[in-house]
Structure 1
Amino acid sequence: MASEAPPKPMSPSERLDAIDVLRGLALFGVLAMNIVTIFRVSFYAPFLPNAEPAGPLDRVVAAVLTVAVDWKALALFSLLFGVGLVIQFERLAGDARRMILLGRRLVVLLAIGLVHLYLIWNGDILVEYALAGFVVLPFLGCARWLMAGAALLLLGLYVTMPVLPPIVPLPGTAGMAALAADAMRAYGTGGFFDVLAFRIREVPAIFPAHVVVFPRTVALFLVGALAWRSGVLRRASANRRLLFVVATFGILFGGGLSLAAAGQELFDGPSLGRAHFPVEQLGAVVLAVGYAAAVIAAVNLSGERRMLGWAAPLGRMALTNYLAQSVICGWIFYGYGLGQFGRLGVAATLAIGIFVYVAQVGFSAWWLRHYRFGPVEWLWRSCMYGVPQPMRATVNLPSCARR
């Protein structure tokens, strides 16, 4: 029978700290890659030959980010989004409006993403996540073998896309160079409306990259949902040994694949030819799974729970922090702010990103001592349930004091 109680968001006491900690840590990886790539220089700069000179420190920092962080942080976020979606699906099992509420949740996320994409930053992932969520939603009630099969099929499609005819091709080298030069003028020296006009123009040019990545996003949502439905995440303490085995395999094997893929570019190693993209992307997924297993296993050790607890508030309001990062980085790099676009090296830019992240850690902890949700999370949940949610915290729960 459908529950007569109105649906409501998960209370802080119901949340799993390991998931929040992992989300908070993944947020650093997302910020690190976003700030040194699409905020610092044009989206097309990495595709151009001899894009920029780099000193030894910049090369080392770029190499570490490429091997250990690039693509892995987004893969982690995608896995966690799939976990969150299936948790919502299960929590609403007794409600006749379950699919309506989940559909509304994704529509609201899509609206937030469109505002972010056009008014703040065109590197947005929320629009893609909302659309991928609609694809995944019908699978959440299916058998696990069907979800696993769909995930493997989509991952296979993703890694073979470079050898297939492009569905929507990226601009050619000359077009990329022209867009990069225009980005330098608009983002580096333009006012807000100059930046806005160029961003609107650039969104269609970036769209092919989202088309390429979309199968991977859907596949990782399904993998995250499967990880939750398997019981490994919700019973992490009982599965600690399995998690450590997965972590060890994922970090060693995924790290090895990532090093092999980056070898030619970073270390003048042998070329992998057409195998480069599949090796790089398989390495990113496997390493991300290894990271996730390591963090979840560690959080379920009492000592490590205390050491990593600072990341839980950041993860609880990850959407607010993600959007705030875009606003802050836009002010730092674009012409309507400090105008540092194209002027800083990788190492200096990463240092700024670390400062922003540390500030968000402190702010998130302070905010959640007074309020139940981050401000954007409150808006998202209120719109989903159709009722303004209570915002004030009634109980101050110490971070990571719960299982």
Structure 2
Amino acid sequence: MNLARIAANERIAQLDVLRGLAILLILYMNIQYMGDFSNPEYFPNRVSWNGFDQAAWWVNRLLDGTQRGLLELLFGAGVLIMARHAMTPDGPVAVADLHMRRNMWLMVFGIAHGVVFLWEGDILFAYGTAALLIFPFRRLRSRWLLGLGIAVNLGLLAPSMIEYRERAALATAATAAGDRLAGGERLGDADKAVLAKWGAAQAEARGIDPAIIKAEKARMKGPFAAYAAARIKAWVSVEFTEVGIYWENVIEAFGTMMIGMALFKWGIIQGRASRATFVLLLVAGYGIGLALRVPATVAQLRFDALPDIGMVTFGLARLPITLGHIGGVTLALSTGLGKIMLRPFEANGRLPLSTYMGASAAAVVLFGWPFLGLFGKLGFGQLFALATAIIVSQIIIANLWLKLFATGPLEWLWKSLSYAAPQPLRTGTEPLS
């Protein structure tokens, strides 16, 4: 069966705008890891901490995870778009075959993102995995997709809840041991162990160990081969070993893709629901999300190990804020001014792979040695300014590119591999999904 491809007149502009915003603005979340030392979101004051740095840090904290959320919702919607022929008698096998190839190749791009483009925070490998798992769920009713998706996202909070309880228990035990010590009691081994553990937790919360910074600086400022090796090692660590966020990302993406499918079936993510629906998403999404996240962000400013409920509510806020984005963008696109302002992002929504991996390539040039070698030299605000310059450049390049070409270079390669045949690249041919 020759699967019909999505033509230009079939594209949904709102989906491209949402995808473009998400894939561009995710750089604001990533650039700290690309250009600074370990865990910069927790220790943003290492280089400088002026008003610009603090404003940038607040933007980072309030929007954290919501670009991923948008991409995951859109990915779920995209599965339904790609599977539109699966209801025909000979369609399911052909669609499933394409779906499998498409997402297995996406996983290959994810590996390349880590070992060639040197970005340890890649999401493509996890998204490809989640997409392979999500396909059989596409025929569930919308309310089931929504309910299961929410349940999966809530389940992801379990580790944070456990950490909160453990931290609270440690703080209580450390306070009691400290009181006994202050009262002149002789502490036993258990109390000494508690105080040592609490002291280590406080030291970790108040800043990065100078020895860690020195070692990381030596790796990042050495020959490019050493820089590349350090980045690849970091990719393995972040994704699979010490940090190991791969399966967490897969589960998060899987749950949020199901919600994206539900929103697509209801016509919400395409902007086809009532205006009242999008007003509700905007007001309730941002209202609930910010009410959960702002106190959690304020608590982080203490830079101490004391437990706070924000350890749980920070992650809980991700999905409501993401839905608020959908409401806000949809309402903006319903106005003439909004269309003018958001139209440039549509091009990057059509070139998401090239945009995403292109930003990582730019980071290698900016931060890698012996290129510009800016790693570890810029404050939070300066990194945000640099991200803004990259984003603006990518918007201009993407819009100019699409005047000559029907799809991006990496998108062309991905689609050619997925369809097992070279696909059209120049304008004048039918652009693919």
TM-score relative to the length of structure 2: 0.81
Q: Distance in 2 between matches of 1:50 and 1:21?
A: 34
> Is structure 2 residue 325 aligned with structure 1 residue 291?
yes
Rate the CA distance shift 1:191–1:97 in 2: closer, same or farther, 3 A. Answer: same
What residue in structure 1 maps to residue 190 of structure 2? none
Q: Pick from 69, 84, 101: which aligns with 2:78? A: 84
Q: Pick from 196, 219, 232: which aligns with 1:186? A: 219
Q: Distance in 2 between matches of 1:269 and 1:198?
A: 28
Q: Distance in 2 between matches of 1:228 and 1:131?
A: 21
CA contact (8 A) 2:142 2:262 kept: yes
Deviation string for 1:365-385 (max 9, x for gaps)? 111111111111111111111
Q: Distance in 2 between matches of 1:285 and 1:278?
A: 13
> Is structure 2 residue 286 aligned with structure 1 residue 251?
yes
What residue in structure 1 maps to residue 267 of structure 2? 231
Q: Distance in 1 between matches of 2:288 and 2:152?
A: 21
After superposition, the CA RMSD in angstroms is 2.8
Within-5 A mapping of 1:136-215 = 136-164=134-162, 177=209, 180-187=213-220, 189-207=221-239, 208-215=244-251
> Is structure 2 residue 52 aligned with structure 1 residue 57?
yes
Q: Distance in 2 between matches of 1:214 and 1:133?
A: 9
CA contact (8 A) 2:292 2:316 kept: yes
What residue in structure 2 maps to residue 40 of structure 1? 35
Q: Distance in 1 between matches of 2:45 and 2:351?
A: 39
Q: Pick from 5, 23, 36: which aligns with 1:9? A: 5
Q: Distance in 2 between matches of 1:194 and 1:271?
A: 34
What residue in structure 1 maps to residue 397 of structure 2? 363
> What code does the residue aligned with 2:343 have?
G
Deviation string for 1:301-345 (max 9, x for gaps)? 344223311110111101101110000011101113111110011
CA contact (8 A) 2:115 2:232 kept: yes
CA contact (8 A) 1:159 1:277 kept: no
What residue in structure 2 maps to residue 329 of structure 1? 363
Q: Distance in 1 between matches of 2:303 and 2:283?
A: 25
> Is structure 2 residue 345 aligned with structure 1 residue 311?
yes
What residue in structure 1 maps to residue 178 of structure 2? none
Query: By how many angstroms is 1:49 displaced?
Result: 10
> What code does the residue aligned with 1:218 have?
F
SS class of match (1:394): coil
Rate the CA distance shift 1:315–1:272 in 2: closer, same or farther, 3 A. Answer: farther
What residue in structure 1 maps to residue 406 of structure 2? 372
SS class of match (2:423): coil
SS class of match (2:377): coil
What residue in structure 1 maps to residue 98 of structure 2? 101
> Any unmatched runs of 5+ in structure 1?
166-171, 398-403
Rate the CA distance shift 1:249–1:195 in 2: closer, same or farther, 3 A. Answer: same
Q: Distance in 2 between matches of 1:252 and 1:366?
A: 38
Deviation string for 1:150-205 (max 9, x for gaps)? 2122112101122448xxxxxx969x856654332222x13332122222322332
CA contact (8 A) 1:151 1:220 kept: yes
Query: By how many angstroms is 1:52 displaced?
Result: 5.1
Q: Distance in 2 between matches of 1:130 and 1:242?
A: 31
> Is structure 2 residue 67 aligned with structure 1 residue 73?
yes
Matched length: 382
Q: Distance in 1 between matches of 2:405 and 2:325?
A: 30
What residue in structure 2 maps to residue 25 of structure 1? 21
Rate the CA distance shift 1:309–1:335 in 2: closer, same or farther, 3 A. Answer: same
What residue in structure 2 maps to residue 401 of structure 1? none
CA contact (8 A) 2:65 2:318 kept: yes
Answer with 383-392 or 296-305: which moved more: 296-305
Q: Distance in 2 between matches of 1:182 and 1:221?
A: 39
Q: Pick from 216, 233, 257: which aligns with 2:252? A: 216
CA contact (8 A) 1:20 1:315 kept: yes
Q: Distance in 2 between matches of 1:19 and 1:156?
A: 26
Answer with 219-228 or 269-278: which moved more: 269-278
Q: Pick from 232, 240, 244: which aligns with 2:275? A: 240
> Any unmatched runs of 5+ in structure 2?
164-200
What residue in structure 1 maps to residue 373 of structure 2? 339
Task: State, as a whole percentage, how many aligned pairs show the same letter.
Answer: 24
Pick the structure with greater CA Rg.
2
